[in-house]
Structure 1
Amino acid sequence: MAKDLKLNIKNAQIAQALKKFNKKPTPIKKAKPKQKEKDVREPTTIKRKARILPPEEKEKKPTEEEKKEAEKSKTVKNTIEKEPLEKEVKETDEIKLAKEEPVAEKPAIKEEKPAKEKEEPKPNVLAAKTAEEEAKKKPKSYKDFKAAKKPQTFRAFDTRDRLGLRSYEDERWRKRRYFKSKKIKSSIEVLRPKSLKVIIPITIKDLASAMKLKASELIRKLFLQGITLTINDYLNDETTIQLLGHEFDCEISIDVEEEKRLQITDLTIKEEISNTPKEDLTTRPAVITFMGHVDHGKTSLIDAIRLSNLANQEAGQITQHIGAFTAKTKFGPITILDTPGHEAFTEMRSRGANVTDIIVLVIAGDEGIRDQTIEAIKQAKDANVPMVVAINKSDKVGFDQEKIYRSLADRELLPEAWGGTVITINCSAKTKEGVDELLEMLSLQAEILELRADPKARARGTILESEMHKGLGAAATVLVQNGTLKTSDAIVFSDKYGRIKTLHDQFDNIVDSAGPSMPVMITGLSSLAEAGSEFVVVENEKIAKDLADARKEKMKLKSLQKAKPFSLESLEKKEKKTLPIILRADVQGSLEALKTSLLKIKSDKAELSIVSAEVGEISESDIRLASASKSVILGFHTKIESHAESLIKQLKVIILQHNIIYHAIDEIKELMRSTLDKLEEFNDIGKAKVIAVFKSSHLGLIAGCLITDGIVKRNSFVRIIRDGKEITKTKISSLKREKEDVKEVNKGLECGIVLENFSDVQNEDIFEAYDITYIEQEL
């Protein structure tokens, strides 16, 4: 169609050109243009309307016919004069313009070029085309693209949009791109502190943050000093922290205010008493601790002083708890602490030595100084406590006073009888001989020490023992060393606290208060107290709880620091047999002694694993725990809850109960030994030689043998020897002689032997019969 249109236009143009060639065109008057047109456009065949001139323009307007004739003459002339290529370009442009501006449109007023402009030289069509093509090649601006977008059709939001199945052309749901603006890095100078106060222990991360440094810088400095730590490791060495501060020009000091707050006071009880004005101090009873070896008569001697019968009340007639009593003598009141003599109760003896004023070292005159006696002497020297030696059992045969003097002198304790300073008293708990003399010497020693305390001060003292009391809950036996302890006082001990509900004296009577040197049992504690810890009274229960929580947090940090790092050596160690055990005791001190003694059991083949260790009766939860962990329950001086008996039978849990500590230790050792694998011992009993081989449909292969040595039994183990080499080991399943089953066959006799799981029997094979015995290993 375009081709036909082009030919039609061409024919019309030629016809008009021939018509003009024959007829002269009407001359048109020239008019001077007021302004020169800047853009020169190519002439087109599209009809243009005459320009309407303003009123002031006086020039004669050309008629419509003249304008049409002029336009046609221009088109024909250009068509004839130009080259064919130019004609084609011109004609193409004319077609495009004809398409763009259809004739049917509403006529518009358009400007007419001045006459002068029409007579100017014709523009170069090729140059104009080249300029137009270059303009087309230029990239369009963003606004052009935006204008070219198709109008969007809005649709409802449905599942396709959520699943990303919407058509790509629908740009409504297309993810927009946002270009992030570049962040301008600005160098800000960090002001580091010149001085700093820190609380130890502190992590490297926290220290670096306080010093306005990167943690890697501190780690690098420590690494150069030969210390390898990570960002979360704790520093608790003041020198190391101050060295790091010096490296970065920061003076670091340790903040001890929090430590003082947690300690409540940095003064010891003796220092607090010495700083108290003398007019506020009063004389207090002496605290006397009886120490010595087991069965040397410590408790019997206390009974002689108190006129009591404590010795017969103890299991095995040995003391296994620390006892605290007050006694009124003709020389004045005294407080007595009785400590166990067994080696397992070292910690108890140590506590007694630390809170006492005078130590009475009890030595049996017929036995002399023993292991626990030597230990007691060392503890007395370490605590710097004066000592009085009571040589007991003076009424027994074999009493040797001089031998004991020599033993004391060998340990730098020179008796007064030999010109030394150590007071020695010969006495007998049974006949009460020398008891009054002993009390007199203790009274004189107390006067020399000038024992005083301030009863009006806040109470301070030491926890001697703690237990879970039925009906009262957590209870503790305490010794008040300064001040007066009253009901409803809030106390802090270790990382625990409490508010005292009741005070009980040695006869279990409830009292309102307890003064210096008075032992009492207290109730109302948040949990079991740790024996040996110090207690102090604070303003109220809230302060006590806050202090206990803060101490607990600090103790947790210390435990993290002491945690042993993982090492490959632990993996390389030979695996041991483990006996899991659950411990229950009546009091904290006994539990501590039992636990310490059990952990002292050393063996390369077996070890103990303490699953749980608590004070109180054996409960249902303990039995369930033992069943789940396959543990043995050991109860020391404690009972089983009445309603737990049926559960024990159901879960088949092993429970051991003892009242004497060394019996408990011996039984645990025996259980540890039973966990070890038994050793096999091979005993040769006889030999048999195969002389014939038979086959049986019922028994299989039967070896006809001659017993050449010893005896061969049914179910004996045998080694099969062929050509001097052992082939295999098996067992005799059947032994026959003359078609009869027999238990054994002696040397020189023939028999038939059937072996288990072995059918390759040949003539001349040798059967070596042996028995296996199993021997228990020793720890």
Structure 2
Amino acid sequence: MAEKKPPSDDASLQLPPTITVGDLAENLDVSPVEIIKQLMRAGIMAGINQSIDYEVAYGLAKAYGFDPEEKTAEEKISALKLEEGKTENQEPRSPVIAFLGHVDHGKTSLLDYIRKSRVAMGEVGGITQRIGAYQANIADQIVTFLDTPGHEAFTALRARGAQVTDIAVLVVAADDGVMPQTIEAINHIQAANVPMIVAINKMDLPGADPDRVKNELSRQNVLVEDWGGEILSTHVSAETGDGIDTLLENISLVAEIEELQGDASTTFSGVVIESKLDSNRGSLATVLVQSGTLQVGSHVAAGPVWGRIRAMLDHQGERIKQAGPSVPIEILGLNGVPDAGEIIRAMPNEREAKRFAETQKDSTDTSNTTVSLLDQISTQVQQGEIPELVVLVKADLQGSLEAVCGSIEKLGSDSASVMIIHSATGNISESDVFLASASKGLIIGFNTRIEPGAKRLAENENVEIRSYDIIYRLIEDIEEAIHGLITPTVNKVLAGKLEVRQIFDARRAKIAGCLVTEGQALQSADVSVIRNGQTLHESSILTLRHFQDNVPQVNSGQECGLTIDGFNEYEEGDIIEVYRVE
């Protein structure tokens, strides 16, 4: 039991809807270790930086002599809300283009050819692992490109790319045709309500069949111009460069028709495309500016994260002092890692940035660390008596983390479940190992390093850490782990029948002298003793002899002597059924 805090004149305490264990301990004026112990006694595993909901915090506060009340979140500052519609100082801006399509259909290679860089050669396994944002000069116009991952596990990233883009280029391999992720990409483009251009790639290959591709696209309600539709299409080859100029002309044409505009003079707002925690530079976020101008030294907030911009880098890694609409940048100076897809906006000062971020904490999705959700999952697992694989996930990027967790969660079945007890960006630390050890869990690292202390601790605690840089290999391994947890279905097959002909007394047990009337008698096999059609006993054969020899089996028509585990009340005429387990 918790030791109650001595009564005071004012024992009232306001608690938010969610609160970290550390903050609760500070409010209750007790050690975080004491709070963690109380939670463990209640069957809740939570570290000092994990969040618990109001109900759990309420119970703990009451136990320590407080009278807690739930604190409502402050109203969001109305002046900081994003303004809908156009502002007065609209000017033409650069179009933002996203390349989407099936894995290995050549999206990165096409963009690589356009940018005249070698990004594709650096991708692990030839698959784009994260969103990249780049700019290129096309016909005296700056164009921003988003290179969205093509693997199906990165659905959320690809969808995010389509939602922040002005024009989507659907890349389909001429030799492969419409594939599952192609259809998925079409759905994302249509849901985002952005113009589509079709690029039929790999026209240099012998098996290229653009007509088949167009036919398959028509079945997905994507009609290109030469099939009676309005969608522009181009035959291209990322290998030879054929058709690239025509594709760029189509992009420019559609961008001109769209009359894209932005206001660089209004208050800055943008979208976090990607984010990560760097061990040397701290929190890094790739941001696409949507309106206004962001400058070094500006105060910003993105959901519950806030900060002052210490540095900005352009798509080439060069330091810049400001960025306007449609410009992708990497920013340093935030106090945490914002969620990919989060709106980031300028704040008047540090105080307002902190206040706004504080109002966002209560509404932010804390499913990764909130204990109440984990309790629900645990209860469901216990009620169904389902074996579970407990997993802790660390990744280099927030987007990668979402993709890995989403893939793992999909692997659960009626026969086995997967529970992610913690997920975060950054290196695998000693704290992660402690949590995995206490939960008897597995640590999965995706494109992240293991700290030396964590590696030693994992060896001492017998915690398994698996590191990956290709997501489909990770998925395959987890699938195998789940199959290892699943209890095999046991089928008992009748192997033989025996009839008891004579009973012999031995020192420790009675021996049944039997005739095998059907099939076989098998050493250690499961048996049922039946008398007058009623089952008297079920267990297994302890010993099986043919004459004086111990034997593994006795066949039909032969006699044998046997003893059965836990049974001595044989009678002549009893039937013994022998079962083989499959």
2:210 pairs with 1:401:
yes
Contact 1:463 1:477 in 2 (8 A): yes
Whole-angstrom CA distance in 2 between matches of 1:261 and 1:402: 55
Pairing of 1:690-705 with structure 2 (within 5 A) = 690-697=500-507, 699-705=508-514
CA RMSD of aligned residues (A): 3.1
Instruction: Select 2:577's aligned residue among 741, 747, 768.
Output: 768
Please give the secondary structure, in 2, of the residue aligned with 1:379. helix
Instruction: Select 1:438's aligned residue among 247, 252, 257.
Output: 247
Instruction: Select 1:429's aligned residue among 223, 238, 246.
Output: 238
Look up the match of 1:466. Answer: 275
Whole-angstrom CA distance in 2 between matches of 1:570 and 1:584: 25
Instruction: Select 1:264's aligned residue among 73, 76, 80.
Output: 80
Please give the secondary structure, in 2, of the residue aligned with 1:430. coil
Contact 2:314 2:330 in 1 (8 A): yes
Pairing of 1:118-157 with structure 2 (within 5 A) = none
2:175 pairs with 1:363:
no
How far 1:304 moved relative to its partner?
1.2
Q: Aligned in 2, Cα 1:590/1:572: closer, same or farther, shift over 3 Å? A: closer
Instruction: Select 1:302's aligned residue among 96, 102, 111.
Output: 111
Contact 1:260 1:266 in 2 (8 A): no
2:311 pairs with 1:495:
no
Look up the match of 2:495. Answer: 685
How far 1:529 moved relative to its partner?
0.3
2:519 pairs with 1:710:
yes
Look up the match of 1:515. Answer: 324
Whole-angstrom CA distance in 2 between matches of 1:610 and 1:450: 46
How far 1:488 moved relative to its partner?
1.8
Whole-angstrom CA distance in 2 between matches of 1:690 and 1:642: 67
Contact 2:272 2:341 in 1 (8 A): yes
Instruction: Select 1:587's aligned residue among 397, 420, 430.
Output: 397
Look up the match of 1:275. Answer: 87
Please give the secondary structure, in 2, of the residue aligned with 1:502. strand
Structure-2-length-normalised TM-score = 0.79
Please give the secondary structure, in 2, of the residue aligned with 1:336. strand
Q: Aligned in 2, Cα 1:763/1:412: closer, same or farther, shift over 3 Å? A: closer
Instruction: Select 1:658's aligned residue among 468, 472, 478.
Output: 468
Pairing of 1:367-378 with structure 2 (within 5 A) = 367-378=176-187
Look up the match of 1:50. Answer: none
Instruction: Select 2:478's aligned residue among 662, 668, 679.
Output: 668
Contact 2:82 2:269 in 1 (8 A): no
Pairing of 1:577-656 with structure 2 (within 5 A) = 577-601=387-411, 603-656=413-466
Structure-1-length-normalised TM-score = 0.60
How far 1:613 moved relative to its partner?
1.3
How far 1:706 moved relative to its partner?
2.9
Whole-angstrom CA distance in 2 between matches of 1:389 and 1:355: 19
Contact 2:87 2:263 in 1 (8 A): no
Pairing of 1:136-215 with structure 2 (within 5 A) = none
How far 1:554 moved relative to its partner?
5.5
Look up the match of 2:192. Answer: 383
Whole-angstrom CA distance in 2 between matches of 1:722 and 1:646: 62
Contact 2:75 2:359 in 1 (8 A): no
Q: Aligned in 2, Cα 1:422/1:672: closer, same or farther, shift over 3 Å? A: same
Contact 1:331 1:440 in 2 (8 A): no
Whole-angstrom CA distance in 2 between matches of 1:720 and 1:594: 53
Pairing of 1:209-288 with structure 2 (within 5 A) = 261-262=77-78, 264-268=80-84, 271=85, 274-277=86-89, 281=91, 283-288=92-97
Whole-angstrom CA distance in 2 between matches of 1:700 and 1:453: 93
How far 1:478 moved relative to its partner?
0.7
Q: Aligned in 2, Cα 1:712/1:425: closer, same or farther, shift over 3 Å? A: same
Q: Decide which structure has greater helix share.
A: 1
Contact 1:262 1:551 in 2 (8 A): no
Whole-angstrom CA distance in 2 between matches of 1:646 and 1:443: 56
1:361-417 C-alpha deviation (Å, 9 max, x unpaired):
111122322333233333333333222211111112332222333344455544333
Q: Aligned in 2, Cα 1:745/1:333: closer, same or farther, shift over 3 Å? A: same
Q: Decide which structure has greater strand share.
A: 2
Contact 1:262 1:547 in 2 (8 A): no
Whole-angstrom CA distance in 1 between matches of 2:365 and 2:167: 37
Contact 1:694 1:701 in 2 (8 A): yes
Please give the secondary structure, in 2, of the residue aligned with 1:378. helix
Please give the secondary structure, in 2, of the residue aligned with 1:680. coil
Whole-angstrom CA distance in 1 between matches of 2:355 and 2:237: 52
How far 1:592 moved relative to its partner?
1.2
Look up the match of 1:325. Answer: 134
Whole-angstrom CA distance in 2 between matches of 1:696 and 1:381: 82
Q: Which runs of 5+ in 2 are unaligned?
A: 1-16, 18-53, 55-73
Whole-angstrom CA distance in 2 between matches of 1:263 and 1:571: 46
Whole-angstrom CA distance in 1 between matches of 2:191 and 2:483: 38
Whole-angstrom CA distance in 2 between matches of 1:575 and 1:701: 40
Please give the secondary structure, in 1, of the residue aligned with 2:480. helix
Larger Cα-atom Rg: 1
Q: Aligned in 2, Cα 1:572/1:337: closer, same or farther, shift over 3 Å? A: closer
Whole-angstrom CA distance in 1 between matches of 2:554 and 2:228: 84
How far 1:418 moved relative to its partner?
4.2
Please give the secondary structure, in 2, of the residue aligned with 1:349. helix
Q: Aligned in 2, Cα 1:760/1:471: closer, same or farther, shift over 3 Å? A: same
* Identity value in percent: 41
Q: Aligned in 2, Cα 1:290/1:546: closer, same or farther, shift over 3 Å? A: same
Q: Structure 1 stretch 375-384 or stretch 410-419: which is displaced more?
A: 410-419
Look up the match of 1:539. Answer: 348
Look up the match of 2:361. Answer: 552
Tell me the amino acid that sits aligned with residue 77 of structure 2.
Answer: R
Whole-angstrom CA distance in 1 between matches of 2:124 and 2:430: 26
Q: How many residues align?
A: 505
Please give the secondary structure, in 2, of the residue aligned with 1:320. coil
Whole-angstrom CA distance in 2 between matches of 1:263 and 1:677: 58
Q: Aligned in 2, Cα 1:750/1:367: closer, same or farther, shift over 3 Å? A: same
Contact 1:493 1:535 in 2 (8 A): yes
Contact 2:178 2:216 in 1 (8 A): yes
How far 1:555 moved relative to its partner?
5.4
Contact 1:331 1:443 in 2 (8 A): no
1:28-69 C-alpha deviation (Å, 9 max, x unpaired):
xxxxxxxxxxxxxxxxxxxxxxxxxxxxxxxxxxxxxxxxxx
Contact 1:461 1:480 in 2 (8 A): yes
Whole-angstrom CA distance in 2 between matches of 1:327 and 1:461: 20
Please give the secondary structure, in 2, of the residue aligned with 1:399. coil
